[in-house]
Structure 1
Amino acid sequence: MHVRPDLRSSCFQLSGVDAARLEAKTSAKTSAYLYMLRSYVKFLPSDPHARFPLGICSAVVASAELACHLGGRTAFCASSTEGIAMGFVNRVILVLASTATAVAAPAAPPGTLSHSDPVVETPVGAQAWRIRYWTTSDQGQPIEVTGMVVAPREAIPAKSRAVLAWTHGTWGVAEQCAPSRSANFFAATPGLSDAMRRGFVIVAPDYPGLGNPTSHAYLGGIEAANSTLDAVRAARQIAGAASGSRFVVWGESQGGHAALWTAQRARTYAPDLQLLGVVAAAPPTDLAANLRAGSDPSVRAFLTAFTAYSWSRHYGAPLANLGNRSTQGIITRLAQNNCVELGKKPRLGTMLGVLALRKSLQNVDLGTIAPWSDFARRNSVSASLTGVPLLIAQNPNDKIVDPKVTRAFASRVCRNGGRLQYLPISGQGHETSAKDTAAATLTWAAARFSGTPAPSNCGHF
């Protein structure tokens, strides 16, 4: 008998080790085994995000392996029978794990870099680091999150480099969907080569709950903004990146929403940073309107599943008032088992689930059902963005983010005195919004760094 692979990967997660890098197996039940591990070894820190040393983790796994090998009966074994060795092994685990509380890594101030791991294979002219750093949850609690930093592969300049904070679009709502874990990260980051040629540092947060075992608040404004601002802070602690405190934030879709929220929070949350501009491509702004107005019913059902599952876990909103047990089960499975993968078609099971949700959710409007409507309202973007220049790009044929909702938001910003350029996109559609405007975005960002006054076409779109 052998230890369940889930225990091994769970233990590595508790140690802050990237299980994928260790080629440890993972499964949808990993979170359950994390709970089992903490329940079984009661001396582990009660904080679900606390770390304990890899050596202790390895010893715990080794002890559990011994128990299974000797015939012990435990939930950690892949199969088990009664064994007489469990009393001894329990005591071994007890002794090993009892030291964990004393040495668990304490929380650090927001923006503190806790680890940077150089990436071996990068695009030509670029160097990169996968990072872990500390940020603040929407409940004001310290949490450790992940992301990526990419910088030009050249001599460190005399002055700090300009920073482009890239806030990604929807990759999923489960921990395994973190962009920094994906082999497609560089291919999926628009304008990367051009940004390197211009000397920019790209700072790309994963967002809380992606790449780390917290719950992900899909379209949750506060946590996305905090993690973006703290990623910019953390990048400054990587000597080879030579990144500065001046930055422009650029996001697409979910990331466009995150970029706008970053503008809302920058001045109060991170006064040590200087936000020079915001670019939002196809951004959800009025969440209730966006969730009901998308013209592609399949995508609308899929994103409603992501939203419902995420908000039920993060905010405690009840899935029960959205549908019966079957509907709730489909929502959960779609969210837990699907990451948006570049260039890949959805699996058959995913397509069947989406079709079922199209029918069961066709009359469900999250914007009119409490408490979902409250969460939609509190995470919508304020139109009082008057302190920083904005570039909002929107494809008039977008089937996912309704152009009318985006245009109405941009008009409200203009009426409130904001300086905004509205850029129509003539590309393929929603999924290429950032790619189709990358050249214009980087030119606009470079002008903000050079001090050129930002253009505005308020009243003319």
Structure 2
Amino acid sequence: MRLSGLATLLAMAAPAAAQQGNLVSAEPVAQTLAGMQAWKIRYLSRDDRGVQQTLTGMVIAPREAVPRTARKVIAWTHGTWGTADQCTPSRSPRFFAATPALDAVRQGYVVVAPDYPGLGEPGPHPYLVGPVTGRSVIDAVKAARAIPGASAGGDYAVWGESQGGHAALWTGQMQAADGAGLRLVGVAAGAPPTDLAANLRGASNATYRAFLTAMTVDSWSQYHGVPLRIGRARTPGIIQRIARNCITVDKGPKLGTMLGILALRQDLAKVDLGSTPPWSSYAAANSTSPVSRVPVLFAQTQGDPLVAPAVTRAFARRMCSNRVRVKWIDLPGKDHATTAKQSATDTIAWIGQRFAGVQAPNDCGRF
């Protein structure tokens, strides 16, 4: 049966419409910070099995006339908000207050902030699963270019903290394979998990370590379809309950959550995911590479209780051995969640120099 002219055009357009990085929708946000405009976006990507998925995020741009030349883009990769759908950053009233990268919008940049797979759309959230997360960031940057009012160009940097630092490093790794049409100029990572096995065993705070382990194995169990067998008989049930909680830096955890974490501290005290199958294989596969085609910035507090500074330093030194130009920012104190906020001024300045084509500073041999 022959197709009509219109049907033929629609059939020809269908494959193009399904390409990853295509913008599905952009809904203007009514209330933003002064001088900014924003859109909640839905866009196409694919998972590490090649299955197409629709993802969500935010695009924020200066509220001013569209410039003659496209704006430079910073992809903000958020830290851990949680692995449950109700923890989706773009849905939260705290989004603007909790996104340090928005300081860059006041300097003329577009900020693209993906939610990551499984947050904002159906499906499990692949927590610390590198390839699919990195691809979701690249595709969000591509999608932002289709919003006329944003005037986002193809030159971008990626900046994230904690889980988002891991995502930023993986975005750099995925650029060559998935970043056609884009030019990545630099990667900024605040307190990033790098060697996941070492990170999961090296956190100095036992409570943080138990919570991180719970979210990680719950996510990997769902995403990879493997039984959640770890610790004692009671442990999987506690992990599943705790994993439904979102992270809030301005509120303490509920009593029930604290009791669950105390129980997990006992149950997981002698568990090493790096030597426990199948978790060890996932930890190895999703650890970051010390090879990079672009300069990399690291920022971390000297006493970070969740991501061990010694692990990050060892990874950064491996990058130096691979002739990557590394900028290292030592921050005071023992906090983890404010790494990006503390280093925002220096990080945005470093990103600006990458866009300007200035040779990146190199701290190798000094940290």
Q: TM-score range by the shorter chain?
A: over 0.9
The offset of 1:317, in angstroms, is 3.1
Q: Does 1:280 align with 2:189?
A: yes
* Pair 1:191–1:226, CA change in 2 (3 A): closer
In structure 2, what is the equivalent of residue 200 of structure 1? 109
Q: In the alignment, is the contact (CA less than 8 A) between 1:191 and 1:439 conserved in 2?
A: no
Tell me the distance in 2 between the aligned counterparts of 1:166 and 1:151. Answer: 13
- Report the secondary structure of 2:20's partner residue: coil
Q: Provide Cα deviations, 1:137-167, integer angstroms capped at 9, x if missing partner.
A: 0111110010000000000000000100000
- Bigger radius of gyration among the two: 1
Q: Which blocks of at least 5 consecutive residues in structure 2 are unaligned?
A: 1-13
In structure 2, what is the equivalent of residue 412 of structure 1? 318
Matches within 5 A, 1:130-141: 130-141=40-51
- Higher strand proportion (structure 1 or 2): 2
In structure 1, what is the equivalent of residue 299 of structure 2? 393
Look up the equivalent residue of 1:391 and give its one-letter code.
L
Q: In the alignment, is the contact (CA less than 8 A) between 1:317 and 1:372 conserved in 2?
A: no
The offset of 1:222, in angstroms, is 0.7
In structure 1, what is the equivalent of residue 231 of structure 2? 323
Q: In the alignment, is the contact (CA less than 8 A) between 2:302 and 2:333 conserved in 1?
A: no
Q: Does 1:210 align with 2:210?
A: no
* Pair 1:191–1:140, CA change in 2 (3 A): closer
The offset of 1:324, in angstroms, is 3.5
Tell me the distance in 2 between the aligned counterparts of 1:202 and 1:191. Answer: 7
In structure 2, what is the equivalent of residue 373 of structure 1? 280
The offset of 1:427, in angstroms, is 4.8
Q: Does 1:295 align with 2:207?
A: no
Q: In the alignment, is the contact (CA less than 8 A) between 1:427 and 1:433 conserved in 2?
A: no
Tell me the distance in 1 between the aligned counterparts of 2:96 and 2:40. Answer: 12
Q: Provide Cα deviations, 1:91-120, integer angstroms capped at 9, x if missing partner.
A: xxxxxxxxxxxxxx9972100110111111
Q: In the alignment, is the contact (CA less than 8 A) between 1:278 and 1:391 conserved in 2?
A: yes
Alignment partner of 1:332 out of 233, 237, 240: 240
Alignment partner of 1:170 out of 61, 67, 80: 80
Q: Does 1:151 align with 2:61?
A: yes
Matches within 5 A, 1:63-78: none
The offset of 1:423, in angstroms, is 1.3
Alignment partner of 1:444 out of 342, 350, 362: 350
Tell me the distance in 2 between the aligned counterparts of 1:377 and 1:395. Answer: 25
Tell me the distance in 1 between the aligned counterparts of 2:334 and 2:279. Answer: 32
Alignment partner of 1:344 out of 251, 257, 262: 251
- Report the secondary structure of 1:431's partner residue: coil
TM-score, L = length of structure 2: 0.94
Q: In the alignment, is the contact (CA less than 8 A) between 2:274 and 2:280 conserved in 1?
A: yes
In structure 1, what is the equivalent of residue 98 of structure 2? 188
The offset of 1:191, in angstroms, is 4.2
In structure 1, what is the equivalent of residue 336 of structure 2? 430
Look up the equivalent residue of 1:445 and give its one-letter code.
I
Q: In the alignment, is the contact (CA less than 8 A) between 1:188 and 1:342 conserved in 2?
A: no
The offset of 1:430, in angstroms, is 0.7
Tell me the distance in 1 between the aligned counterparts of 2:101 and 2:43. Answer: 25
In structure 2, what is the equivalent of residue 248 of structure 1? 157
Q: In the alignment, is the contact (CA less than 8 A) between 1:427 and 1:436 conserved in 2?
A: no
- Report the secondary structure of 2:97's partner residue: helix
Q: Provide Cα deviations, 1:167-186, integer angstroms capped at 9, x if missing partner.
A: 00000011111100100000
Q: Provide Cα deviations, 1:365-419, integer angstroms capped at 9, x if missing partner.
A: 111011100000000001112x101111121110000000000000000001111
Q: Does 1:110 align with 2:17?
A: no
The offset of 1:323, in angstroms, is 2.6
Runs (4+) of structure 1 exceeding 3 A deviation are: none
* Pair 1:180–1:405, CA change in 2 (3 A): same
Tell me the distance in 1 between the aligned counterparts of 2:249 and 2:278. Answer: 34
Look up the equivalent residue of 1:204 and give its one-letter code.
A
- Report the secondary structure of 2:324's partner residue: coil
Q: In the alignment, is the contact (CA less than 8 A) between 1:135 and 1:230 conserved in 2?
A: yes
The offset of 1:428, in angstroms, is 5.3
Alignment partner of 2:138 out of 229, 250, 258: 229
Tell me the distance in 2 between the aligned counterparts of 1:121 and 1:196. Answer: 16
Q: Relative contact order (alpha carbons < 8 A, sep ≥ 6): 1 or 2 greater? A: 2
TM-score, L = length of structure 1: 0.75
Q: Does 1:402 align with 2:311?
A: no
Matches within 5 A, 1:15-34: none
- Report the secondary structure of 1:185's partner residue: coil
Tell me the distance in 2 between the aligned counterparts of 1:240 and 1:374. Answer: 44
In structure 1, what is the equivalent of residue 179 of structure 2? 270
- Report the secondary structure of 1:213's partner residue: coil
Q: In the alignment, is the contact (CA less than 8 A) between 2:249 and 2:337 conserved in 1?
A: no
Aligned length, in residue pairs: 353
Q: In the alignment, is the contact (CA less than 8 A) between 1:191 and 1:438 conserved in 2?
A: yes
Look up the equivalent residue of 2:322 and give its one-letter code.
N
Identity %: 55
* Pair 1:357–1:258, CA change in 2 (3 A): same
Look up the equivalent residue of 1:153 and give its one-letter code.
R
